[in-house]
Amino acid sequence: MKKTYKGSCHCGAVRFEADLDLSAGTVKCNCSICAKQRAWLAAVGANEVRLLSGESELADYQFGARRIHHRFCRTCGVRPFGHASADGATAFYAVNLAALDGVDPGVLAAAPVTYVDGRHDDFKSAPAETRHL
């Protein structure tokens, strides 16, 4: 069942809320940025994330095919979410679970994880090795 979670960057300049069903699954990817940041994400539709404050504090980073906007706080560097666009409209958000505030660790521990091989642009398959993600 979906629940509204609040989240923020480390310094608190960026605050958001997201409607997530963590029991429906989360994602860990092995692409270069996700692996370096040990990202643990939940993907949701564009209307399920609301920026509450800090738009001016968010910077944007893109690489490779430039499909995803990796947003991060200019002050503390924390990446609360990223988003991808399709035909000019935001198709989805990837919420960084580590940026959620006050989540019961048991809820996170129970959340199913799907591993994807972003390093090879194969988001339908898991990479051969996942223990490090």
**H or E stretch covering 108:** helix 105-110
- pLDDT for 84-108, tens place per residue? 976 666 689 999 999 999 999 999 9
Question: What's the pTM value of the predicted model, to 2 decimals?
Answer: 0.90
CB 89 within 8 A of CB 1: no
- pLDDT for 20-40, tens place per residue? 999 999 999 999 999 999 999
CATH architecture of 3-120: Beta Complex (2.170)
Q: Give the list of residues 6+ apart from residue 107 with CB closer than 8 angstroms, or none.
A: 22
Q: Give the list of residues 6+ apart from residue 96 with CB closer than 8 angstroms, or none.
A: 7, 39, 40, 41, 78, 79, 80, 81, 82
Q: Which of 47, 58, 59 is nearest to 17 (CA)?
A: 47
